[in-house]
Structure 1
């Protein structure tokens, strides 16, 4: 096994390896996916999350082994980039990769701190009367603006991938998770509005986000509203059509 640690955790290398080796028998299950699984466990006196990436198929194993960074490595490196640019994410502790005798990738793991959050953006989507909903959205727009200014194009910017912690009434902190799909590039205003499309915003939420982003970016609110509404509506139509076709094909 190959393990890369954040310098703060060098002294806990053996304990981290033990958590990884006992992943399937110990810890509390958080997410059980078809290929990825997340569990929580304890490292010293700290709660941590361990994300397991299943062994890729033969072709992807070659790609991840020799031509592209693994998901675990990207998660670790991207988290460090975010924190270096003052964008919050659970602190990256380590990543671990198992390799074959010919250096082909097997299973891999990403270990980070556990954030005890209050909710995700998803909860706001279906609850128009969510407490301080517009306040949260305005601060989320500010968080995303800072992300864009740091040249971070988070390709999985969707409702479940931002954890929200309520510090006090009217004050919220935001943490990005599921980090392995990002680009680091200058973003046009159209790119920036496109980055919100997966949030599944209602027309009311679009209006709040556009107004808040306009104040930060100095782009006209009307322009942002038009762009954001167009991107959001187009994405919703695309997903709805895809689901409809899947249902139709499933009946045949």
Structure 2
């Protein structure tokens, strides 16, 4: 077993390990899915979110054992890196890896459970959501902040940003962190990073307008690129779904 626990919970090492040992008996989270299982628990008066990643296939077992870090370890390390950059994410608590026959098998990531007011998905599903435009513009500024700090969140999609209302402003928290890149970002990389977020032309227009206001780039240049990237992503997404459906049956 390989693991790392946040210094804040070092004194609760045994209790944290027990949570993983008894994972199956914990309460299912409403966010638990078919690929990854998510459970909730309370430790030291802190609500926790415990994510068990889907077991890797044979190829990835070798890759995660010898060539790259597991999703759990990357999630833990990226969360700590984001916090050092003053980018919000639920507090990382620990990660665990278990091997079977010498290869990575089960992996877990533990973070603090964040009770958000909404996610970005709520904005895509309800264009009349209260204060919709202000939230969307604030989110656009947040994304630009990520890029200015050299963070490219590869899973920048509707369910992976939690939003909390704070007086007259909003805080944005990134989740599902295992796919990220860090470094200087080109214009194309920055605008392409919006492609997974929405299919709504009105939202693309608003985000393009806000980006034009906070950068030296023109609305036309930003909007043309953002809309083209969104359309290209949607076309590829639906093509993949059609192929999966075809081969499934």
Q: TM-score, normalised by structure 1?
A: 0.93
1:209 matches 2:207: yes
Task: Measure, in 2, the Cα distance between the counterparts of 1:207 and 1:55.
Answer: 40
Question: What is aligned with 1:176?
Answer: 174
1:23 partnered with 2:23? yes
Q: Which residue of 2 aligns with 1:225?
A: 223
Using the size of structure 2 for normalisation, the TM-score is 0.94
Give the conservation status (yes or no) of the 8 Å contact 1:30–1:40.
Answer: no
Distance in 2 of aligned mates of 1:22 and 1:82: 29
- Shift of residue 218, structure 1, vs aligned partner: 1.8
Deviation, structure 1 residue 35? 3.4
Partner SS for 2:25: coil
User: What CA distance in whole angstroms lies between the structure 1 residues aligned with 2:69 and 2:247?
Assistant: 36
Q: Distance between the aligned counterparts of 2:242 and 2:58, measured in 1? A: 32
Q: C-alpha root-mean-square deviation of aligned residues, in Å?
A: 1.7
Q: Find the counterpart in structure 2 of residue 116 from structure 1.
A: 115
Q: Which 4+ stretches in 1 moved above 4 angstroms?
A: 244-251
Gaps of 5+ in 1: none
Alignment partner of 1:198: what SS? Answer: coil
Shift of 1:76: 0.3
Q: Distance in 2 between the 1:223 and 1:37 partners? A: 41
**Residues 33-87 of structure 1, C-alpha deviations (whole Å, 9 max, x = no match):** 3331111110110101000023323332121111110110000000011111111
Q: Is the 8 A contact 1:75 1:178 kept in 2?
A: yes
Which stretch shifts more, 227-236 or 63-72? 227-236
Q: How many residues align?
A: 249
Distance between the aligned counterparts of 1:21 and 1:41, measured in 2?
A: 13
CA contact (8 A) 2:89 2:174 kept: yes
Contact 1:9 1:93 in 2 (8 A): yes
Runs of at least 5 residues in structure 2 that lack an aligned partner in the other structure: none
Query: Partners in 2 of 1:185 and 1:246 — Cα distance?
Result: 34
**1:212 Cα deviation (Å)?**
1.1
Cα 1:174–1:240, aligned 2, differ >3 Å: closer, same or farther? same
